[in-house]
Chain A
Amino acid sequence: MSTAQIRLATLWRREVNRFMKIKKQTIGAPLLETFLYITIFGAALGSRIKHLHGIDYVLFVIPGLIMMAWSTNAFSNNSSSILQQKFQGAIQDQLSSPASPAELLLAFSLGGFMRGLIVATLTFLVSVVLVGLPVEHVLVLVPSLFLVGFFFSQLGVLIGVRAEQFDDVAFAQTFILQPLIFLGGVFYSAALLPQPWETLTRFDPIFYMINLVRYGFVGFTEVSIALSLLALTAATAALFLVNLRLFSRGYRLRA
């Protein structure tokens, strides 16, 4: 391994090590939360709704839950990790190393990405066993999930870098991210909503992410897949470039 590879691997290992040391909180709790959603919306509500657009309600809901698990874990991991390290001053050890802004950004991003991947994969495996979740379009599903994971990893980094107190992270998660996810159609189809809610839903970027993932799993979508993939790729790349600029400038990281 080259010195740059050792550096990047160590930076990334530190991020994974952090969440694995508190895995009851970082892996266990989100898994439990996801299974509670599946139980409530799948078993309880599903027994009354049965089908949505010809798909079992529980199968309709689970893709959105997998996407939600990946995105919220990627976001909260990175925002918390960066803010904690800024608070402790421990980030100085990394900032005073020869690591480039791109290496630092990539390592922070991949930490949350990994946590989201673990929670989403476990949810997927359990869903396959319990309710026979299919994978209809793997070539759409894999890039969609990876882009969603990377997008929210970047968003977590952005909020973590900007945040000056834990309240800032909590605000972004509770008042911006959660409403956008819940109103993006995880539990329902936008077509069932009355106006103006149906139209408003289409202004929620997460609506398109949920539809991409749902299409990958069960083959149903309410949006253009090609257009959504293109927009998600562009948004993720733009966010990465914004973060790279912040890291290069040392924004709220270096005095």
Chain B
Amino acid sequence: MKALDIKDLEKRYPNGVEALRSVSLEIEEGEFFGLLGPNGAGKSTLIHCTTGLAQPTGGSIEVFGNDAIDHYAEARQAVGLAPQEPNIDWFLTVEETLDYHAGYFGMPRKERRQRSQELLETFSLVEKKDERTRTLSGGMKRRLILARAMMHRPRLLILDEPTAGVDVELRLELWHYVQKINQEGTTILLTTHYLEEAEQLCDRIAFIAEGQIVAEGTSEALAERFGVANLEDAYLALVGRGELSRSHIETAPEVEA
């Protein structure tokens, strides 16, 4: 079954900007899928269209067979989103943030308590559970939005640049956690600027540029398609900055003093 099936998706903003141009994408259930592209390529818009935060102007999105517009409740129930920008409610404590999120998804109280306890421990937030979210550090906020995204046990977890600006410890913790839940059956859609992260974690990767999917496949297949040695070089070729390749830097002649 397809976890996400996007066909000819278009998004044109009222100011005329075409953020997505006939994007088609299929992600199989249980897959770990990476979406890479430069800033402004359309990654977040695609995610927002999938989660109901943006309204497509054309095409269709199906989440586990449910149309994201006509059957939005079923579609959204299956998705957990950790957005790029921490969008936390300042009035709530850490524990309330998790509890309320699960309530929005209809989870009964007893189950909410158990689940929030589990995630507070997983993300080392137990000591912070009664603190107001606005007093948290950047790293703690990032932990919280990841825990919140997983609170209602989504079948499709969307991580929009989850490791941007986080320390090595959290990054590795997150890698381990998402690999674990992926092995347990959760489908993951990851956007990241860290190519080694995508290379290591993702089964398949798509490159998006100027609102269009320009290439798709395993990291090896993408490297082969661009005629280069690895995913990073394939990405640099995509954005037209092949001269920045590490292979060029490593073989560059020494500059005399």
In-complex Cβ contact of B53 among A10, A17, A22, A96 (8 A): A96
Are A10's CB and B100's CB within 8 A?
Answer: yes
Say how far B59's CB is from chain A's closest CB, in angstroms: 16
Are B106's CB and A18's CB within 8 A?
Answer: no
Are B13's CB and A255's CB within 8 A?
Answer: yes
Sorting the interface of chain B by its residue count into under 10, 10 to 19, 20 to 34 or 35 or more gives: 20 to 34
When distances are taken between beta carbons in the complex, the residues of chain B under 8 Å from A6 are 103, 106-108
Asked if B6 lies at the interface with its beta carbon under 8 angstroms from chain A, I say: no
Are A94's CB and B88's CB within 8 A?
Answer: no
Say how far B149's CB is from chain A's closest CB, in angstroms: 10
Given A10-B100, A97-B104: A85 touches B79 (CB 8 Å cut-off): no
Asked if B179 lies at the interface with its beta carbon under 8 angstroms from chain A, I say: no
Are A254's CB and B53's CB within 8 A?
Answer: yes
Say how far A90's CB is from chain B's closest CB, in angstroms: 4
Are A96's CB and B92's CB within 8 A?
Answer: no
When distances are taken between beta carbons in the complex, the residues of chain A under 8 Å from B101 are 93, 97
Sorting the interface of chain A by its residue count into under 10, 10 to 19, 20 to 34 or 35 or more gives: 20 to 34
In-complex Cβ contact of A85 among B13, B89, B103 (8 A): B89
Asked if A53 lies at the interface with its beta carbon under 8 angstroms from chain B, I say: no
Are B103's CB and A10's CB within 8 A?
Answer: yes
Are B104's CB and A10's CB within 8 A?
Answer: yes
When distances are taken between beta carbons in the complex, the residues of chain B under 8 Å from A250 are 55
Asked if B193 lies at the interface with its beta carbon under 8 angstroms from chain A, I say: no
Considering only residues 67-102 of chain B, those with a C-beta below 8 Å from chain A are 72-74, 76-77, 79, 81, 83, 85, 87-92, 96, 100-101
Are B73's CB and A17's CB within 8 A?
Answer: no
Asked if B148 lies at the interface with its beta carbon under 8 angstroms from chain A, I say: yes
Asked if B48 lies at the interface with its beta carbon under 8 angstroms from chain A, I say: yes
Q: In the complex, which of the residues B13, B103, B108 has the most CB atoms of chain A within 10 Å of its own CB atom? A: B103
- Complex CA gap A14/B101 in Å reads 10
Label chain A's interface by main secondary structure: helix
Asked if B172 lies at the interface with its beta carbon under 8 angstroms from chain A, I say: no
Q: In the complex, which of the residues B45, B73, B91 has the most CB atoms of chain A within 10 Å of its own CB atom? A: B91
When distances are taken between beta carbons in the complex, the residues of chain A under 8 Å from B83 are 89, 92
Given A7-B105, A13-B100, A89-B85: A255 touches B55 (CB 8 Å cut-off): yes
Asked if A3 lies at the interface with its beta carbon under 8 angstroms from chain B, I say: yes
Asked if A237 lies at the interface with its beta carbon under 8 angstroms from chain B, I say: no
**Nearest residue in A to B81 (C-beta to C-beta)?**
A96
Considering only residues 210-253 of chain A, those with a C-beta below 8 Å from chain B are 250
Asked if B164 lies at the interface with its beta carbon under 8 angstroms from chain A, I say: no
Q: In the complex, which of the residues A84, A93, A254 has the most CB atoms of chain B within 10 Å of its own CB atom? A: A93
Are A7's CB and B104's CB within 8 A?
Answer: yes
**Nearest residue in A to B103 (C-beta to C-beta)?**
A10
Q: Which residues of B contact A (CB under 8 A)?
A: 13, 45, 48, 51-55, 72-74, 76-77, 79, 81, 83, 85, 87-92, 96, 100-101, 103-108, 148
A-B contact sample (4 more), CB < 8 A, given A18-B91, A92-B83: A3-B106, A14-B89, A254-B53, A255-B45
Q: Ordered nearest first, which 5 A-B pairs have the shortest CB separation?
A: A10-B103, A3-B106, A89-B87, A97-B104, A98-B73
- List 16 A-B pairs, Cβ < 8 Å: A6-B106, A7-B104, A14-B92, A92-B83, A92-B87, A93-B89, A93-B101, A93-B104, A94-B104, A95-B53, A96-B51, A96-B52, A97-B104, A97-B105, A255-B13, A255-B54
